Chain A
Amino acid sequence: MGLALKVNKYGVYSIVLIFTSVLINYVISKKVLSEVVIIEHLYPQMDYDRILGMIDLKKKWEWINYLVIPFVYLLKFTVVSLWIICGSILYNKNINFKSVFRIVILAEFVWLIPPVILILWFGIFETNYSYTDIQYFAPLSLLSLFEPASVESWLVYPLKSFNLFEVFYVLILGVGIKKITSKNYMSSLSFIAPVYSSALIVWVIFVTFLTINVIG
Protein backbone atom coordinates (compact mmCIF):
# COMPACT_ATOMS: atom_id res chain seq x y z
CA MET A 1 0.00 0.00 0.00
CA GLY A 2 1.52 3.21 -0.98
CA LEU A 3 0.47 6.74 -0.52
CA ALA A 4 -1.36 7.84 -3.64
CA LEU A 5 -0.59 11.42 -4.45
CA LYS A 6 -3.45 13.06 -6.28
CA VAL A 7 -2.21 15.95 -8.32
CA ASN A 8 -4.73 18.67 -8.90
CA LYS A 9 -3.90 20.12 -12.30
CA TYR A 10 -5.28 23.53 -11.35
CA GLY A 11 -2.97 23.53 -8.38
CA VAL A 12 -0.11 22.91 -10.78
CA TYR A 13 -1.33 25.73 -13.08
CA SER A 14 -1.45 28.08 -10.08
CA ILE A 15 2.09 27.16 -9.03
CA VAL A 16 3.36 27.66 -12.59
CA LEU A 17 1.54 31.02 -12.73
CA ILE A 18 3.00 32.19 -9.42
CA PHE A 19 6.50 30.99 -10.25
CA THR A 20 6.44 32.62 -13.71
CA SER A 21 5.08 35.84 -12.26
CA VAL A 22 7.80 35.96 -9.61
CA LEU A 23 10.44 35.30 -12.25
CA ILE A 24 9.09 38.01 -14.56
CA ASN A 25 8.93 40.51 -11.69
CA TYR A 26 12.48 39.62 -10.73
CA VAL A 27 13.78 40.18 -14.26
CA ILE A 28 11.95 43.52 -14.54
CA SER A 29 13.26 44.63 -11.15
CA LYS A 30 16.88 43.66 -11.82
CA LYS A 31 17.30 44.19 -15.55
CA VAL A 32 14.65 46.63 -16.78
CA LEU A 33 14.20 48.88 -13.73
CA SER A 34 17.92 48.88 -13.11
CA GLU A 35 19.71 51.21 -10.70
CA VAL A 36 20.92 53.33 -13.59
CA VAL A 37 17.36 53.93 -14.83
CA ILE A 38 16.16 54.83 -11.34
CA ILE A 39 19.11 57.15 -10.69
CA GLU A 40 18.68 58.89 -14.04
CA HIS A 41 15.01 59.42 -13.31
CA LEU A 42 15.44 60.74 -9.77
CA TYR A 43 18.78 62.54 -9.95
CA PRO A 44 17.54 65.79 -11.53
CA GLN A 45 15.38 66.38 -8.48
CA MET A 46 16.80 64.29 -5.64
CA ASP A 47 20.12 64.21 -3.86
CA TYR A 48 22.38 61.37 -5.11
CA ASP A 49 23.02 59.89 -1.65
CA ARG A 50 19.29 59.88 -0.97
CA ILE A 51 18.67 58.00 -4.19
CA LEU A 52 21.26 55.39 -3.24
CA GLY A 53 19.60 55.11 0.17
CA MET A 54 16.25 54.50 -1.50
CA ILE A 55 17.74 51.88 -3.78
CA ASP A 56 19.26 50.10 -0.77
CA LEU A 57 15.89 50.17 0.95
CA LYS A 58 14.26 48.77 -2.19
CA LYS A 59 16.79 45.93 -2.30
CA LYS A 60 16.25 45.20 1.39
CA TRP A 61 12.45 44.93 1.17
CA GLU A 62 12.00 43.69 -2.38
CA TRP A 63 11.37 40.13 -1.22
CA ILE A 64 7.99 41.25 0.13
CA ASN A 65 6.85 42.02 -3.44
CA TYR A 66 7.48 38.42 -4.41
CA LEU A 67 5.96 37.03 -1.23
CA VAL A 68 2.62 38.78 -1.74
CA ILE A 69 2.15 37.59 -5.33
CA PRO A 70 0.31 34.35 -4.39
CA PHE A 71 -1.98 36.29 -2.04
CA VAL A 72 -2.70 38.93 -4.66
CA TYR A 73 -3.60 36.18 -7.11
CA LEU A 74 -5.82 34.49 -4.55
CA LEU A 75 -7.63 37.76 -3.89
CA LYS A 76 -8.00 38.55 -7.58
CA PHE A 77 -9.26 35.08 -8.51
CA THR A 78 -11.73 35.15 -5.63
CA VAL A 79 -13.11 38.61 -6.44
CA VAL A 80 -13.38 37.95 -10.19
CA SER A 81 -14.99 34.57 -9.58
CA LEU A 82 -17.49 36.04 -7.13
CA TRP A 83 -18.37 38.79 -9.59
CA ILE A 84 -18.99 36.21 -12.30
CA ILE A 85 -21.10 34.14 -9.92
CA CYS A 86 -23.18 37.26 -9.15
CA GLY A 87 -23.55 37.77 -12.89
CA SER A 88 -24.63 34.16 -13.31
CA ILE A 89 -27.46 34.74 -10.81
CA LEU A 90 -28.70 37.66 -12.93
CA TYR A 91 -28.48 35.58 -16.07
CA ASN A 92 -30.01 32.50 -14.45
CA LYS A 93 -26.95 30.46 -15.28
CA ASN A 94 -26.23 27.48 -13.10
CA ILE A 95 -22.49 27.56 -12.53
CA ASN A 96 -20.54 26.83 -9.38
CA PHE A 97 -17.76 28.86 -7.80
CA LYS A 98 -15.14 26.10 -8.11
CA SER A 99 -15.59 25.80 -11.89
CA VAL A 100 -15.43 29.57 -12.36
CA PHE A 101 -12.35 29.81 -10.12
CA ARG A 102 -10.59 27.26 -12.31
CA ILE A 103 -11.46 29.17 -15.48
CA VAL A 104 -10.15 32.40 -13.95
CA ILE A 105 -6.85 30.67 -13.05
CA LEU A 106 -6.39 29.51 -16.65
CA ALA A 107 -7.38 32.86 -18.17
CA GLU A 108 -4.84 34.64 -15.95
CA PHE A 109 -1.99 33.31 -18.12
CA VAL A 110 -2.92 36.02 -20.66
CA TRP A 111 -1.58 38.59 -18.18
CA LEU A 112 1.91 37.14 -18.32
CA ILE A 113 2.21 38.38 -21.91
CA PRO A 114 2.40 42.20 -21.36
CA PRO A 115 5.34 42.08 -18.91
CA VAL A 116 7.17 39.64 -21.19
CA ILE A 117 6.64 42.10 -24.07
CA LEU A 118 8.02 44.83 -21.79
CA ILE A 119 11.14 42.80 -21.01
CA LEU A 120 11.72 41.97 -24.68
CA TRP A 121 11.00 45.51 -25.84
CA PHE A 122 13.37 47.26 -23.45
CA GLY A 123 15.87 44.42 -23.54
CA ILE A 124 16.22 44.08 -27.29
CA PHE A 125 14.51 46.83 -29.28
CA GLU A 126 14.57 49.99 -27.17
CA THR A 127 17.64 49.69 -24.94
CA ASN A 128 18.10 53.44 -24.47
CA TYR A 129 15.05 54.08 -22.34
CA SER A 130 14.04 56.10 -19.31
CA TYR A 131 11.87 55.37 -16.31
CA THR A 132 9.09 57.42 -17.90
CA ASP A 133 9.21 55.18 -20.99
CA ILE A 134 8.54 52.20 -18.73
CA GLN A 135 5.76 54.00 -16.86
CA TYR A 136 3.95 54.80 -20.09
CA PHE A 137 4.67 51.48 -21.81
CA ALA A 138 1.28 49.93 -22.50
CA PRO A 139 1.23 47.88 -25.69
CA LEU A 140 -2.10 47.43 -27.46
CA SER A 141 -3.83 49.87 -25.13
CA LEU A 142 -5.57 53.22 -25.57
CA LEU A 143 -2.61 54.91 -23.86
CA SER A 144 -0.29 53.95 -26.71
CA LEU A 145 -2.40 56.19 -29.01
CA PHE A 146 -1.35 59.32 -27.09
CA GLU A 147 1.86 61.21 -26.48
CA PRO A 148 2.78 60.61 -22.80
CA ALA A 149 3.38 64.29 -22.16
CA SER A 150 -0.12 65.15 -23.36
CA VAL A 151 -1.87 62.77 -20.96
CA GLU A 152 -3.07 63.97 -17.56
CA SER A 153 -1.58 61.82 -14.80
CA TRP A 154 -4.97 60.60 -13.56
CA LEU A 155 -5.89 59.39 -17.08
CA VAL A 156 -2.89 57.10 -17.45
CA TYR A 157 -4.39 54.17 -15.56
CA PRO A 158 -7.81 54.23 -17.30
CA LEU A 159 -6.18 54.47 -20.74
CA LYS A 160 -3.76 51.68 -19.84
CA SER A 161 -6.59 49.49 -18.57
CA PHE A 162 -8.53 49.51 -21.82
CA ASN A 163 -6.38 47.26 -23.96
CA LEU A 164 -6.54 44.22 -26.24
CA PHE A 165 -5.29 41.89 -23.51
CA GLU A 166 -8.54 42.52 -21.66
CA VAL A 167 -10.33 41.41 -24.82
CA PHE A 168 -8.22 38.24 -25.01
CA TYR A 169 -8.92 37.63 -21.32
CA VAL A 170 -12.67 37.90 -21.89
CA LEU A 171 -12.47 35.62 -24.94
CA ILE A 172 -10.68 32.97 -22.87
CA LEU A 173 -13.15 33.34 -20.03
CA GLY A 174 -15.84 32.84 -22.66
CA VAL A 175 -14.26 29.55 -23.74
CA GLY A 176 -14.20 28.42 -20.13
CA ILE A 177 -17.82 29.41 -19.52
CA LYS A 178 -18.80 27.55 -22.72
CA LYS A 179 -17.20 24.38 -21.35
CA ILE A 180 -18.88 24.49 -17.97
CA THR A 181 -22.33 25.55 -19.21
CA SER A 182 -22.29 23.42 -22.36
CA LYS A 183 -23.81 26.33 -24.28
CA ASN A 184 -22.48 27.71 -27.53
CA TYR A 185 -19.58 30.16 -27.50
CA MET A 186 -21.57 33.25 -28.52
CA SER A 187 -24.04 32.65 -25.70
CA SER A 188 -21.18 32.29 -23.20
CA LEU A 189 -19.50 35.40 -24.55
CA SER A 190 -22.71 37.42 -24.37
CA PHE A 191 -22.80 36.48 -20.69
CA ILE A 192 -19.16 36.95 -19.68
CA ALA A 193 -18.41 40.11 -21.68
CA PRO A 194 -20.86 42.44 -19.90
CA VAL A 195 -20.29 40.77 -16.53
CA TYR A 196 -16.51 41.12 -16.64
CA SER A 197 -16.63 44.56 -18.32
CA SER A 198 -18.76 45.92 -15.48
CA ALA A 199 -16.19 44.63 -12.99
CA LEU A 200 -13.38 46.24 -14.95
CA ILE A 201 -15.17 49.60 -15.15
CA VAL A 202 -15.86 49.63 -11.41
CA TRP A 203 -12.23 48.74 -10.68
CA VAL A 204 -10.86 51.44 -13.02
CA ILE A 205 -13.18 54.05 -11.48
CA PHE A 206 -12.03 53.03 -8.00
CA VAL A 207 -8.31 53.21 -8.83
CA THR A 208 -8.71 56.50 -10.71
CA PHE A 209 -10.57 57.96 -7.73
CA LEU A 210 -7.69 56.95 -5.44
CA THR A 211 -5.14 58.32 -7.90
CA ILE A 212 -6.81 61.72 -8.01
CA ASN A 213 -7.08 61.99 -4.25
CA VAL A 214 -3.69 60.64 -3.28
CA ILE A 215 -1.35 61.69 -6.06
CA GLY A 216 -3.23 64.71 -7.30
Chain B
Amino acid sequence: MKRSYVVISGCLILSISILLLLFNINSLNKRKDFKNDSQSLVELLNTLSVNRIDPKKKTILVYFNSDCSFCQWEIKEISKNIHLFEGFEILLLSFEQKESALSFLAKHSLSEYYIDVNPDKITSTIIGGVPQTFIYKNDILIKHFKGEVKIELILEFLE
Protein backbone atom coordinates (compact mmCIF):
# COMPACT_ATOMS: atom_id res chain seq x y z
CA MET B 1 0.00 0.00 0.00
CA LYS B 2 2.77 2.39 1.07
CA ARG B 3 4.78 1.45 -2.01
CA SER B 4 1.87 2.13 -4.37
CA TYR B 5 1.33 5.60 -2.82
CA VAL B 6 4.99 6.42 -3.34
CA VAL B 7 4.95 5.11 -6.91
CA ILE B 8 1.80 7.10 -7.70
CA SER B 9 3.29 10.25 -6.13
CA GLY B 10 6.49 9.71 -8.10
CA CYS B 11 4.55 9.34 -11.33
CA LEU B 12 2.54 12.46 -10.51
CA ILE B 13 5.70 14.52 -9.85
CA LEU B 14 7.25 13.24 -13.06
CA SER B 15 4.10 14.03 -15.06
CA ILE B 16 3.91 17.55 -13.59
CA SER B 17 7.60 18.11 -14.44
CA ILE B 18 7.03 16.97 -18.03
CA LEU B 19 3.90 19.14 -18.29
CA LEU B 20 5.81 22.16 -16.97
CA LEU B 21 8.55 21.56 -19.46
CA LEU B 22 6.06 21.17 -22.30
CA PHE B 23 4.37 24.39 -21.20
CA ASN B 24 7.72 26.14 -21.20
CA ILE B 25 8.53 24.79 -24.64
CA ASN B 26 5.10 25.85 -25.87
CA SER B 27 5.55 29.40 -24.62
CA LEU B 28 9.05 29.41 -26.10
CA ASN B 29 7.57 28.36 -29.45
CA LYS B 30 4.93 31.08 -29.19
CA ARG B 31 7.65 33.67 -28.66
CA LYS B 32 9.62 32.20 -31.54
CA ASP B 33 6.47 32.17 -33.68
CA PHE B 34 6.09 35.84 -32.93
CA LYS B 35 9.61 36.51 -34.02
CA ASN B 36 9.54 34.15 -36.97
CA ASP B 37 6.08 35.05 -38.27
CA SER B 38 6.33 38.78 -38.11
CA GLN B 39 10.07 39.51 -37.94
CA SER B 40 8.68 42.99 -37.46
CA LEU B 41 10.17 45.75 -35.37
CA VAL B 42 6.84 47.58 -35.22
CA GLU B 43 5.06 44.56 -33.80
CA LEU B 44 7.85 43.94 -31.31
CA LEU B 45 7.69 47.51 -30.09
CA ASN B 46 3.89 47.39 -29.96
CA THR B 47 4.20 44.33 -27.71
CA LEU B 48 6.53 46.34 -25.50
CA SER B 49 4.14 49.32 -25.64
CA VAL B 50 6.75 51.53 -27.28
CA ASN B 51 5.78 54.20 -29.78
CA ARG B 52 7.98 53.79 -32.79
CA ILE B 53 9.31 56.69 -34.79
CA ASP B 54 10.12 55.51 -38.29
CA PRO B 55 9.71 51.82 -39.15
CA LYS B 56 11.42 52.25 -42.52
CA LYS B 57 14.67 53.46 -40.99
CA LYS B 58 17.43 50.87 -40.54
CA THR B 59 17.46 50.07 -36.84
CA ILE B 60 19.77 48.47 -34.35
CA LEU B 61 18.11 47.35 -31.14
CA VAL B 62 20.39 46.38 -28.25
CA TYR B 63 19.03 44.48 -25.27
CA PHE B 64 21.48 45.02 -22.43
CA ASN B 65 22.11 45.13 -18.72
CA SER B 66 24.57 47.56 -17.13
CA ASP B 67 26.05 44.84 -14.87
CA CYS B 68 27.01 42.61 -17.78
CA SER B 69 30.65 43.10 -18.88
CA PHE B 70 29.88 42.10 -22.48
CA CYS B 71 27.06 44.68 -22.59
CA GLN B 72 29.38 47.29 -21.12
CA TRP B 73 31.91 46.68 -23.87
CA GLU B 74 29.33 46.77 -26.65
CA ILE B 75 27.68 49.95 -25.39
CA LYS B 76 31.12 51.56 -25.01
CA GLU B 77 31.99 50.61 -28.59
CA ILE B 78 28.71 51.99 -29.91
CA SER B 79 29.42 55.22 -28.06
CA LYS B 80 32.99 55.44 -29.44
CA ASN B 81 31.70 54.86 -32.97
CA ILE B 82 28.40 56.73 -32.76
CA HIS B 83 29.31 58.82 -35.78
CA LEU B 84 29.21 55.64 -37.90
CA PHE B 85 25.56 55.11 -36.95
CA GLU B 86 24.38 58.39 -38.42
CA GLY B 87 21.23 57.79 -40.40
CA PHE B 88 20.39 54.64 -38.47
CA GLU B 89 18.00 54.28 -35.58
CA ILE B 90 19.42 53.06 -32.29
CA LEU B 91 17.20 51.58 -29.59
CA LEU B 92 18.62 50.53 -26.25
CA LEU B 93 16.46 48.39 -23.98
CA SER B 94 17.09 46.87 -20.60
CA PHE B 95 15.15 44.84 -18.06
CA GLU B 96 16.73 46.69 -15.14
CA GLN B 97 15.32 49.78 -13.43
CA LYS B 98 15.17 52.89 -15.59
CA GLU B 99 17.45 54.87 -13.25
CA SER B 100 20.24 52.26 -13.35
CA ALA B 101 20.04 51.91 -17.12
CA LEU B 102 20.01 55.65 -17.71
CA SER B 103 22.86 56.22 -15.25
CA PHE B 104 24.95 53.68 -17.14
CA LEU B 105 24.06 55.07 -20.56
CA ALA B 106 24.73 58.65 -19.41
CA LYS B 107 28.40 57.70 -18.83
CA HIS B 108 28.57 56.86 -22.56
CA SER B 109 26.36 59.75 -23.70
CA LEU B 110 23.77 57.35 -25.07
CA SER B 111 20.81 58.22 -22.81
CA GLU B 112 18.85 59.64 -25.73
CA TYR B 113 18.60 56.19 -27.29
CA TYR B 114 17.16 54.53 -24.22
CA ILE B 115 13.66 53.12 -24.55
CA ASP B 116 11.74 52.75 -21.30
CA VAL B 117 10.06 49.36 -21.25
CA ASN B 118 8.25 47.42 -18.53
CA PRO B 119 10.82 44.85 -17.28
CA ASP B 120 8.24 42.05 -17.10
CA LYS B 121 7.15 42.68 -20.67
CA ILE B 122 10.66 42.72 -22.03
CA THR B 123 11.77 39.52 -20.29
CA SER B 124 8.69 37.71 -21.57
CA THR B 125 9.23 38.99 -25.11
CA ILE B 126 12.99 38.70 -25.56
CA ILE B 127 14.16 35.39 -24.17
CA GLY B 128 17.68 34.49 -23.17
CA GLY B 129 20.57 36.48 -21.74
CA VAL B 130 22.24 39.78 -22.55
CA PRO B 131 23.52 41.32 -24.69
CA GLN B 132 21.37 40.63 -27.71
CA THR B 133 21.53 42.76 -30.82
CA PHE B 134 18.75 42.91 -33.40
CA ILE B 135 19.18 44.54 -36.77
CA TYR B 136 16.10 45.62 -38.73
CA LYS B 137 15.75 46.86 -42.27
CA ASN B 138 12.38 48.06 -43.56
CA ASP B 139 10.78 46.71 -40.41
CA ILE B 140 12.10 43.18 -40.98
CA LEU B 141 14.58 41.44 -38.71
CA ILE B 142 17.62 40.64 -40.81
CA LYS B 143 20.08 39.59 -38.13
CA HIS B 144 19.99 38.60 -34.48
CA PHE B 145 23.18 38.30 -32.45
CA LYS B 146 23.44 36.68 -29.06
CA GLY B 147 26.44 37.83 -27.07
CA GLU B 148 28.65 40.82 -27.74
CA VAL B 149 29.21 41.73 -31.35
CA LYS B 150 31.88 43.92 -32.93
CA ILE B 151 30.81 47.18 -34.47
CA GLU B 152 32.17 46.36 -37.94
CA LEU B 153 29.82 43.38 -38.15
CA ILE B 154 26.79 45.40 -37.03
CA LEU B 155 27.59 48.04 -39.67
CA GLU B 156 28.06 45.37 -42.31
CA PHE B 157 24.47 44.27 -41.81
CA LEU B 158 23.16 47.80 -41.57
CA GLU B 159 24.66 48.83 -44.92
List residues of chain A with CB under 8 Å of any chain B CB. 44-47, 50, 89-92, 154, 198, 201-202, 205-206, 208-209, 212-216
Choose among B6, B10, B18, B25 the residue that contacts A212 (Cβ–Cβ < 8 A). B25
Q: Given the complex, which residues of A lie within 8 Å of B150, measured CB to CB?
A: 45-47, 50
Q: How far is the CB of B95 from chain A (nearest CB, A)?
A: 13
Across the two chains, which residue of chain A brings its CB closest to B150?
A47
Q: How far is the CB of A198 from chain B (nearest CB, A)?
A: 7
B window 10-60: CB within 8 A of A: 10, 14, 17-18, 20-21, 24-25, 28
The answer for the CA separation of A44 and B157 in the assembled complex, in Å, is 13
The answer for the CA separation of A84 and B124 in the assembled complex, in Å, is 38
Q: Given the complex, which residues of A lie within 8 Å of B1, measured CB to CB?
A: none
Q: Given the complex, which residues of B lie within 8 Å of A205, measured CB to CB?
A: 17-18, 21
Interface hit among B82-90, B114-122, B141-149: B141-149
The answer for the CA separation of A206 and B73 in the assembled complex, in Å, is 32
- Are A154 and B127 in touch, CB under 8 angstroms? no
Q: Given the complex, which residues of B lie within 8 Å of A90, measured CB to CB?
A: 3, 6-7, 10
- Are B153 and A45 in touch, CB under 8 angstroms? yes
B window 113-159: CB within 8 A of A: 127-129, 145-150, 153
**Can you list 6 residue pairs at the A/B interface with Cβ under 8 Å?**
A45-B145, A47-B150, A89-B6, A92-B3, A154-B25, A212-B24
The answer for the CA separation of A212 and B32 in the assembled complex, in Å, is 12
A154-B147 in contact given A90-B7, A216-B127, A216-B129 (Cβ < 8 Å): no
Across the two chains, which residue of chain A brings its CB closest to B152?
A47
- Are A45 and B149 in touch, CB under 8 angstroms? yes
The answer for the CA separation of A46 and B69 in the assembled complex, in Å, is 14
Choose among A50, A154, A198 the residue that contacts B148 (Cβ–Cβ < 8 A). A50
Q: Given the complex, which residues of B lie within 8 Å of A89, measured CB to CB?
A: 6
Q: A45-B148, A47-B77, A216-B127 are in contact. List 9 more A-B contacts (CB 8 A).
A: A44-B153, A50-B73, A89-B6, A90-B7, A92-B3, A154-B25, A154-B28, A214-B128, A214-B129
Q: Given the complex, which residues of A lie within 8 Å of B18, measured CB to CB?
A: 205
- Are A215 and B128 in touch, CB under 8 angstroms? yes
- Are B17 and A202 in touch, CB under 8 angstroms? yes
Q: Given the complex, which residues of A lie within 8 Å of B25, measured CB to CB?
A: 154, 212
Across the two chains, which residue of chain A brings its CB closest to B29?
A152
Q: Which 9 A-B pairs have the closest CB atoms?
A: A216-B128, A216-B127, A47-B150, A205-B17, A45-B149, A205-B21, A90-B3, A212-B24, A90-B6
The answer for the CA separation of A198 and B13 in the assembled complex, in Å, is 11
- Are B21 and A209 in touch, CB under 8 angstroms? yes
Across the two chains, which residue of chain B brings its CB closest to A53?
B73
Q: Given the complex, which residues of A lie within 8 Å of B3, measured CB to CB?
A: 90-92
Across the two chains, which residue of chain A brings its CB closest to B10?
A198
- Are B147 and A46 in touch, CB under 8 angstroms? yes
- Are B7 and A209 in touch, CB under 8 angstroms? no
Q: How far is the CB of B66 from chain A (nearest CB, A)?
A: 18
The answer for the CA separation of A205 and B16 in the assembled complex, in Å, is 11
